[in-house]
Amino acid sequence: MELVQTFLDQNTKIIDMGADFRLKNLSEWERLYSRKHICPSVVQEAVYGIPELHRDAIKQTNVVANPGCYASACILGMAPLVKAGLVETDHIIVDGLSGTTGAGAELDIPSHHPEIANNIVPYNVIDHRHTYEMEQELSLLSSTRVTVHFTSAYVPITRGILAICHCFPKGPVNRLALLNLYREFYKDEFFIRVFDMPPEPGASWQYVSYPWVSAVSGTNFCHIGLDVDEQRNRIVVFSVLDSVGKGGAHAGVQNLNLLFGLDEHTGLTRHGLHPY
Amino acid sequence: MELVQTFLDQNTKIIDMGADFRLKNLSEWERLYSRKHICPSVVQEAVYGIPELHRDAIKQTNVVANPGCYASACILGMAPLVKAGLVETDHIIVDGLSGTTGAGAELDIPSHHPEIANNIVPYNVIDHRHTYEMEQELSLLSSTRVTVHFTSAYVPITRGILAICHCFPKGPVNRLALLNLYREFYKDEFFIRVFDMPPEPGASWQYVSYPWVSAVSGTNFCHIGLDVDEQRNRIVVFSVLDSVGKGGAHAGVQNLNLLFGLDEHTGLTRHGLHPY
Amino acid sequence: MELVQTFLDQNTKIIDMGADFRLKNLSEWERLYSRKHICPSVVQEAVYGIPELHRDAIKQTNVVANPGCYASACILGMAPLVKAGLVETDHIIVDGLSGTTGAGAELDIPSHHPEIANNIVPYNVIDHRHTYEMEQELSLLSSTRVTVHFTSAYVPITRGILAICHCFPKGPVNRLALLNLYREFYKDEFFIRVFDMPPEPGASWQYVSYPWVSAVSGTNFCHIGLDVDEQRNRIVVFSVLDSVGKGGAHAGVQNLNLLFGLDEHTGLTRHGLHPY
Amino acid sequence: MELVQTFLDQNTKIIDMGADFRLKNLSEWERLYSRKHICPSVVQEAVYGIPELHRDAIKQTNVVANPGCYASACILGMAPLVKAGLVETDHIIVDGLSGTTGAGAELDIPSHHPEIANNIVPYNVIDHRHTYEMEQELSLLSSTRVTVHFTSAYVPITRGILAICHCFPKGPVNRLALLNLYREFYKDEFFIRVFDMPPEPGASWQYVSYPWVSAVSGTNFCHIGLDVDEQRNRIVVFSVLDSVGKGGAHAGVQNLNLLFGLDEHTGLTRHGLHPY
């Protein structure tokens, strides 16, 4: 935020890879980031950089706020359900599991191999800053204010995030109908893949009827799957992406392509190493 | 269940490491395990093998039903809150993360190293059989029927389970008060450790204010920690154990010690390799 | 070998991804693979598919024998030294460390996650079949018969091979001179990268003065580095590649490009995810 | 070395867990550790702390030099062959593969999870300080000066070291005879286990005919196995231990037991979690 006005004065478009322009609620931002915001007007002008939700606005803005990694996974995973008004918006519970590149390049305890290699490390388990991005963006899609109960943990993989999103349908739903809802919602989205492989009973590939983070590592793709516990009336949505791919740097390139009128896919068509 | 009557007739005490005597609701058991139960009367006699909840009954029974690994983690993690009547019992959401020994010694896709090493593999994501054990045992502690919304996933560690348990308090609560509740509940329990290290803001050791599975690997210990999102009114409880330790074989030894009047700790005092 | 004559009769060019045409010494091949060879004449016609050594012959043959993964790593790593006649050819010792995709897609004990995740598994520790490829190809470059003492082990990574090659110089050598020899030898080779970062004393990046398998994962690149123990008169060469990249499938594509007169780099320019 | 004289003056026995008293050759030590040694006389009095080689001397000394982890693995692995005079002593080649706890608790690049998790990191690849311990101790067992060509690398496991030791027999040898030699050499040694499971052809358990580091993790045991390439006249010895077990802290306890006349096994009988 220290530099943005200077760039704007020079007619330079900006993609902020940090968090300075993600939250419209300034007092919330100032509390969470323990700083005073110095360019509030730019916050209002900035567009939250998820093209699947804000493509047209991104094309027309000068400032894109590239989203947080967990936020991207959760928002993409929950958007169709929230938009359709199918679920209770005060009981959305999300566990975000992240690989260690999500902790950054800096040396730190939870990415120290002897500590994490046989471990799972919960951290920022309440009031994670990305929660506010999830609530802001999902509330925009909903007629009621959305609350997200988010907890994060590191697991011993290097790349990738799995968001396990639990929510409660207002009425009866089933897996197939919801998969169709998701397919329709993302039908024009190259980078979003909805998983629809229902497991045959006893088939070993039941494991791949839900998205695997290994399949999106190093890519701009986000894979989404789900299931419904009809007996207990719960929906669970799985959303996977690479925190330095669709959840970070690659998303920045996608936004850059949109900002400058390039083909949105430029530089981003690489698929993962994994066959699924 | 095919052998149990023969053993009982010989006055032999039994610890069933399988699932035949865990559920009191026979029709539910028969649906879940796709078989007819052949000794219903023994089911009623059997005691669910969590000593921390059923110590006296275990000492006096002839049949112990050794509990499921996820069930042990979740039940031990939620018991104090449910018993105290502090939380809504229809919105308990649990994500169970397991190492690959939890998948058994048999070769299978989710424990094939090339598939799991950089991956997280959701499986049995709804209606997992252990859910019914959780609901049965927690309901016994509660004045109202408890519903657990449980989802499981493999992570690339070999040993250990982390149960992330979310629930919603009926009234205002705070972390310290709840930790005290847990300490009181488990004050005589050698194998349960309640974590009470509140992180200093910015301290690197915030990571260890929650339990680490690496600390209970190869042991009969269960570590429990928690936090409270006072703003959104949510409690998150972390419960860790080794699925072939306190969640399996070691628990069987603990039950054996009780069944035969031995010191309950015999053979089980080994601590993990990890300092925490 | 069962199919090759049929294809040749139809004027179809062949890249054999198996081992049927790699060894010119038929009796050795028959002993190692416990079978009788049914088309010996094709063996003599076939070209061993390392373009860096046999590019012109590959362009003109109808049958390419795609090399073994360990063989590729060792041959590329040792070729410059052996060709220059600088080292004793009867004391070349190679430890080949492989990720678990090198064990194939089939489920097996050394790629079972609970077994390998905290382990190193030596296997085929003497007389590994790939040894004969190494000896054949390096002997072609040498005025004397080359003996390779090769041992392999699985390490808990999914992709990549590190060949640690030890040999003994006939006269005084130093690191810089040898790096120059390698740079000259591979100066026109796009897919071979010679590492030349001498570590500053105490610099943390000494670790990257030798090749890292993580940098070639999923690619057709082979990185080579080395060091010299001048006091004990030993050279150690490090050669890394991906066993299903430059050590397998990607090498097959490179050979295909050559066989059909395509740009040799077609489909193979992807770099690894790692910065180095 | 700054404190040792003070302690000796108080009649206090010393186990130095560092490297100050390991090497008898002071000028070599001073070059390797870039310091002047301040108590040369204690160096001569100190006993190198491998009980299997120096038990009686350890019992009678006041100063034990606890050995380096790689040195312990290599020395225990090569001692029987060198003592028997069966192998060329100028061509012993050892690759030491270490888990990341071997790198210490300090945060550093090769133990940063994103760097090491899918990687193998060679380091100190020539003239490693532990080489001098190997050469000193093996030379004591030999009629000729022993040279060790040692290279080390980190692999992504947390605990354990595998030393792959190659050497060349002076005359014909075979696996069974050498295993018998090792069994005889270590027949009274509780903490050394010689592996003698010859693989049935095609048996999957060929993998466990060589020692696994996973079996000695967290213990004071060292497992040793070997094989012979009769065709090329090479012996390969595998020696595994835990660098903070038999290769470090546990060895220190074993030395302490000897120094004070306790049962040598006190506190050290814990076996690994692994069945083999």
ipTM of the complex: 0.96
> What is the per-residue pLDDT across C19-77, written as a single tens digit (0 to 9) for each?
999 999 999 999 999 999 999 999 999 999 999 999 999 999 999 999 999 999 999 99
* Domain spanning B4-67+248-259: CATH 3.40.50.12500: no
**Is the model's pLDDT at C201 over the cut of 80?**
no
Put simply, the answer to whether D164 touches C151 (Cβ < 8 Å) is yes
Tell which C residues from 135 to 164 touch A, by Cβ distance under 8 Å. 159
Query: Which of D156, D164, D234 is facing C157, going by the closest CB pair?
Result: D156
**Cα–Cα dist B122/A223, whole Å:** 13
Query: Choosing from A69, A165, A167, A222, which is the catalytic residue?
Result: A69
Q: Which residues of D touch C210 (CB under 8 A)?
A: 121-123, 125
Residue C239's closest CA among C191, C174, C168, C177?
C191
Interchain CB contact of B118 with D (< 8 Å): yes
Q: Which residue has the tokens 């702390």?
A: D49
**Cα–Cα dist D262/D267, whole Å:** 11
C-beta separation of A29 from A23 below 8 A: yes
Put simply, the answer to whether B107 touches C105 (Cβ < 8 Å) is no
Interchain CB contact of A86 with B (< 8 Å): no
**Cα–Cα dist D228/D166, whole Å:** 10
Average pLDDT of every residue of chain B: 94
**Is the model's pLDDT at A204 over the cut of 60?**
no
Shortest Cα–Cα distance, A103 to chain D (Å): 9
DSSP C175-228: HHHHHHHHHHHTTT-TTEEE---PPPTT-GGGGGGS--GGGTTTSS-EEEEEEE
Interchain CB contact of A204 with C (< 8 Å): no
**Is the model's pLDDT at B154 over the cut of 60?**
yes
Using CB atoms within 10 Å of the CB of residue C106, give its burial: 0 to 12 exposed, 13 to 18 middle, 19+ buried.
exposed
Put simply, the answer to whether B273 touches D118 (Cβ < 8 Å) is no
**Is the model's pLDDT at C203 over the cut of 80?**
no
Q: Which residue has the tokens 């894109």?
A: A64
Token digits of residue A79 = 């958007």
Chain D residue closest in CA terms to B244? D273
**Is the model's pLDDT at D259 over the cut of 70?**
yes
Under 8 Å CB-to-CB from A152, ≥6 apart: which residues?
A70, A95, A96, A97, A98, A122, A123, A124, A125, A128, A130
Query: Does residue C268 or residue D103 have the better pLDDT?
Result: C268
Shortest Cα–Cα distance, B68 to chain A (Å): 20
Q: What percent of chain A has pLDDT over 90?
A: 89
Put simply, the answer to whether D158 touches C127 (Cβ < 8 Å) is no
Alpha-carbon Rg for chain C in angstroms: 19
H-run or E-run covering A82: helix A69-83
pTM, two decimals, is: 0.96
Query: Which of A117, A207, A232 is facing B147, going by the closest CB pair?
Result: A232
Query: Which of B117, B118, B273 is facing D218, going by the closest CB pair?
Result: B273
The SS3 call for residue A16 is strand
Query: Choosing from C69, C74, C167, C222, which is the catalytic residue?
Result: C69
Put simply, the answer to whether C91 touches D95 (Cβ < 8 Å) is no
Instruction: Determine the pLDDT at residue D209.
Output: 83
Q: Which residues of A touch D113 (CB under 8 A)?
A: 100, 111-113, 116-117, 156, 158
Q: Which residues of C touch A118 (CB under 8 A)?
A: 117-118
Query: Choosing from D39, D69, D165, D167, which is the catalytic residue?
Result: D69
Domain boundaries, chain B: 4-67+248-259, 69-241
Interchain CB contact of A231 with B (< 8 Å): yes
Token digits of residue A255 = 């936004």
φ, ψ dihedrals at C150, nearest 5°: -115, 140
Q: Which residues of A touch C217 (CB under 8 A)?
A: 273
Instruction: Determine the pLDDT at residue D197.
Output: 67
**Cα–Cα dist D87/D97, whole Å:** 23
**Cα–Cα dist D112/D7, whole Å:** 38
Shortest Cα–Cα distance, B154 to chain C (Å): 11
pLDDT band at B272; cut points 50, 70, 90: confident
DSSP C223-272: EEEEEEETTTTEEEEEEEE-TTTTTTHHHHHHHHHHHTT--TTTT--PPP
**Is the model's pLDDT at B197 over the cut of 80?**
no
Number of residues that make up chain B: 276
Query: Which of A99, A120, A162 is facing B213, going by the closest CB pair?
Result: A120
**Cα–Cα dist A46/A67, whole Å:** 12
Query: Which of C93, C156, C162 is facing D93, going by the closest CB pair?
Result: C93
Sheet holding D148-154, edge to edge: D121-123, D148-154, D92-98, D161-167, D234-241, D222-229, D192-194
Shortest Cα–Cα distance, A118 to chain D (Å): 8
**How much helix, strand and coil, in percent to the nearest 5, is found in chain A?**
35, 20, 45
> What is the per-residue pLDDT across B232-270, written as a single tens digit (0 to 9) for each?
999 999 999 999 999 999 999 999 999 999 999 999 998
Return the DSSP state at B214: G
Angle A72-A77-A80 from CA coordinates, rounded to 5°: 120
Under 8 Å CB-to-CB from B160, ≥6 apart: which residues?
A118, A119, A120, B98, B99, B213, B214, B216, B217, B240, B241, B242, B243
Put simply, the answer to whether A157 touches B118 (Cβ < 8 Å) is yes
Region C111-135: mean pLDDT is 96
**Cα–Cα dist D137/D265, whole Å:** 24
Number of CB pairs, chain A paired with chain B, less than 8 A apart:
146
Query: Does residue A166 or residue D200 have the better pLDDT?
Result: A166
Fold of B69-241: Dihydrodipicolinate Reductase; domain 2 (3.30.360)
Interchain CB contact of B187 with C (< 8 Å): no
Note whether D4-67+248-259 and D69-241 share their fold.
no
Put simply, the answer to whether A273 touches C118 (Cβ < 8 Å) is no
Q: Which residue has the tokens 């359709």?
A: A84
Chain A residue closest in CA terms to D155? A113
A69: annotated active-site residue: yes
